[in-house]
Structure formats: structure tokens, C-alpha cells
Structure 1
Amino acid sequence: MGIEPHEESRLLELIPVLGEIKHAKRHLKTWMRPSKRCLHISTLPAKAKVIYQPKGVVGVISPWNYPVLLCLGPLIGALAAGNRVMLKVSEYCPETNKVLREILDRALGENWIEMVEGEADLANRFSLLPFDHLLFTGSTSVGHIVMRNAAENLTPVTLELGGKSPLLVAPSADLRDTAKKLVFGKMLNAGQTCVAPDYIMCHADQKQTLIEYIKQELLAYYPEGVLSPDYTSLINPRQLDRLQGYLEEARAAGIECDNLMSQGPAQSDGKLALHVIHQPTDDLRVMQDEPLWAFVTHFIV
């Protein structure tokens, strides 16, 4: 379902991965060298050094929002360290998974990597396996489950978890420049980024001016609104329903919600226009879950 502009895919997914591969190839010999350590004079004439060795089999659970970068990125580090890898990819990206499987089979073969596909129940069983190390990227709620499952085998875990990303606007800020940077960071991948600007804290006097500048930037980026060909879709109907549910909950609570992209419909073909929720209360799901968009009309220092 949906699209992502080629330029955006290259910028966010392919260029960083290629950079990681080049960096690993350039520095691998240095990383593999034993590293000398200093000893206390009382241990002379002893010498000490660290000899780096592979851990063994590394499990990687990758998310749907960056199915190439957050799949191949951890894979590069694990393979560079000499490990074999079992990779659980997101069930939300079946077409991307097909391409990844072809590339990995051709480049590495099953001796180095085993790619696994399946729903959430399979991911749960995957995290129960006795890996020598486990890497997970995803939500905090699922991260709790992964950590608990890994603890059964005392598996070391690396978690990269999403969360809230507030934007604090200083009283002296250039609001036009703030809007330009804010829109760029928010609209990449349709906001489906764990560190995308989430909610704004600014002085009430700045609010309306900042909103107008945001509207101008959105109009310049997307003159046809969500109908613009380079406007990224949400990954699937489930995520679209989740974001619409935030708006419906806020409106039901009597909180004002505005579409910032009046140059087109509020949604179309899996695309949702950027909205602002004015003065949301902390009990709303939009203020508990990962980002949509919200304004808090006071400035916090």
C-alpha cells in the first residue's frame, strides 16, 4: 500500500546503509587487532591485551518504519564482528522483505544469515531463543516483552526504542527558520520516525505565527497537499486508523484539531494531512504513544 518518493528512500534508507558498509570495510582490520592494556607495576613482567572474538549467533528484530536501514544496519555490525545472524523482519513490509531476501541470499547465503518472516506471535517466540546477543528496534511496550523473554536465557540485549520527542521553542527563536526545520524533520517518512518532532512547547505569543509559517512551508513542499506525488503514505491502514483515532479522541474531549494542509483533502490513499491538536491533555493517547502532532501553548525552560 502507498508510496515513498525515491529521493526520500535513497536519503533515509540507502545512503546511510552504504555509508555503514564502507565504514566497516575501511576500519575492520583495525577493529580486529588485539588491543594492549596497561598493568599495575606489581604484575611485571606480565603483559595484557584484549583479543576480540565473535559472540556467536546474534538475533535482530527489525521494525516496519525503516525496513532497509534498521534491518541491514544492525546486520552490518554483527557480521563485521564475525557473528552469524538470525533476522526477524517486519510482517508489514512483505514486498521489501522479498527484495532483501534475494539480496542477502545472493550476497551471503544461509551459512551466515537466516531471515525469518511472521506475525507478532513468531516475533515473541523468536525473542525466546537463546541468542548470544539480541538487538530489537521498536516500541517501548514491545521492548518490555523482548527484554523479559531474553532474560529467560540471560541473553544480552540492545534496545532501540521509540518515545516522545518534544520541541522547545525559545522566546528568541527565528520562527520562520524553526518552521522550515520542523516541517522537514516531521514530514520525512510521513512522520513515521521515532525521533520526529512530536509536540511543541512554545510561548502563547509565538503560537499563531509559528503555525502560519508551518502552513507556508507545507504549501511550498506539497502544493497539492496529500495528493502531491512526493507525499509519503502511511505504512498500512492500521497506522492510518491509529492516527485518525488520536484525532477523534481529542475532538470527542472537546479539544480543537486543525488540518494544516488546506490545499487538499485531509486524507487520500493511505496519506494523512498534518494536523495540529491544540493544548492536548496528558491523558490523551496522542500524548502517551509515539508521535502524531500536538501544540502545547506554553514555554518550558
Structure 2
Amino acid sequence: MKRENHSRVSEFILLGLSDQPEQDRLLFLIFLLMYLITGLGNLLIILAIRIDPRLHTPMYFFLSNLSLVDICFTTTTIPKMLVNYISGNKEILYISCVTQAFFFLWFAGLDSILLGSMAYDRYMAICAPLHYTMIMTPRVYVLLVAVCWFWACANALTHTVLLTQLSFCGHNEIPHFFCDLGVVIRLACSDTFINDLVIYTMGGLTALIPFIGILISYFHIFVAVLKIPSAYGKRKAFSTCGSHLTVVCLFYGTIIGVYFNPTSTHTAQQDIASTVMYTAVTPMLNPFIYSLRNNDMKGALRMLLLRKPGFSL
């Protein structure tokens, strides 16, 4: 079926998290605080890794990229929501909506793929420690991260281009606080079969392959750790994986709750609450999880915070 490459809708209306205007100020303050904590926390992680030579390893290179992505991820959605709450104007232009959808898909995909790459790094470090430094060379892990950025961008661009081929004829209210691809597609008055097909193929692979890789990696890690004779060795091995595994559970747990549960088991409000978890809460908690559960990171953060003013990074 041939699609019409036009849209009669020039803007959408983001209904937000609540239909009660008196709650807007409270929601504004809550999400402003969350956004500031997310930005500051992840920036400190990046700077701490930058200044501490002990953290110039593949594991922390992946972590610094994850922190950068989390800053970008929250910046894609929260500032626009804050502007809507403070101004009372919930409209978003069509082109702005499409742009927001692209960057959201890009950084969400990056989060997923980077978590998978970090699981592979931990698998190599624990299950093949003698070959780890020969396999995970700077050239290899930099190339791996570059591939993560490229694949996530290609995935997001594909979905966005297909979105621009849809026609929007009348209904323009988005029952969400940002332009979520699935929600926007449901507003289209043209055929969305190709869009849905690509979501379940490319989009599904971007989330499913890293998740399966994480499960396989941690199965082998768990088996390898059980073979370590000393209790201290087991604790040390689990401590290096505990932070990453906690973040994985938070991120994928909420995504599975939204996208892989039967729609009859949850409401739209529950979906929005779960979306808030992986778009706002998880990026905010990541710096705390990685710093509180990691002695090397705590030492680097102390070094960063105690640096003399004017000392170059």
C-alpha cells in the first residue's frame, strides 16, 4: 500500500503524567531535582574515571560511556516536560516530536547495548582472566563502543524515517510525557504495518540480543565464581559484577514490565510509571549504585572532590 508522505497535524499535545493542574508544580520540582541529581552524579562518575589512572580500564571506559548516555537520555525528555509544567503549554511541534523520538530511541538503544557490552567485559575478566588483557585491548573496546553508538543510531534513524512517512489526520493528544514511538504511531491514520514490523524486528533485536547476552554471560560468571576456592575471591568477583547486575535488573525489569506483559495485566498509568523508572529513576540511581558498591570508584570520587581548585584535569 502506498503511503502519503504528509501530515495534516502540525503539533501534538503531551498530556503528561497527571490531568490535575494543581499537581504540576509538585511534579516540576520532583523532576527538576531528579534531573539535576542525574546530571551531577553521572558527570562526577565521568570526571572521576578521567582523573584516576587506576580506572583507565575497559570496565570503566564502558561505565563512562554509560554515564554520558544517561545524561543525554534524561536530557531528551525531562527538560521539555519541565518547560511544559512551568509554562502550562503542553504543545510540541511535529518536527520537535519526531526529533525527540529519534534521540530517545538512540540513547535507549545505547543503554541496552552498552549494558550488554559491559556484561561481556565482566565475562572475559572473570572467566578468561589470563587472556583478558590480550583480548580487551584499547583498540578492541573503543571499537566495540563505536559499534554500539553506530548501531543504536542506525536503529533510531530507521524508526524515525518510517515515522515521518505516516499521516496524522486529526487526533493529536499523546497520553504520555514525551513522544514515545509506540504511542505516536497509534495516532496515525495511515497503515502502520511496516512501522510495527520494524519495531518488533530491529527494535526487538536491539533490546533482546544484549539481554540474552547478559543472561548467558552471568550464567558463566556464576559458574566460574562457584569454582573459586576462597571466600574472599568469591566476594571480590561478585562485587565487581554486583553494580552492573543491579542496573541491568532495574533497566530491563521495567522495560519488560511495559513492553512484554499482556496489555490486559496493566493500565496506561502503570505503563507511564514504569517508563518513568527506566527513563528518569534508573539514570539517577546509576551513579549511586556504581559508587556505593565499588571501592575503587569511591576512592576516585574522594580524589576528585578533594582536588585543589584550578588543578587541571
TM-score category of the 2 structures, normalised to the smaller one = under 0.3
TM-score (ref. length: structure 2): 0.24
TM-score (ref. length: structure 1): 0.25
Q: Pick the structure with more helix per residue.
A: 2
Larger radius of gyration between Structure 1 and Structure 2: 1
Q: Which structure is higher in RCO with an 8 Å CA cutoff and minimum separation 6?
A: 2
Q: Pick the structure with more strand per residue.
A: 1
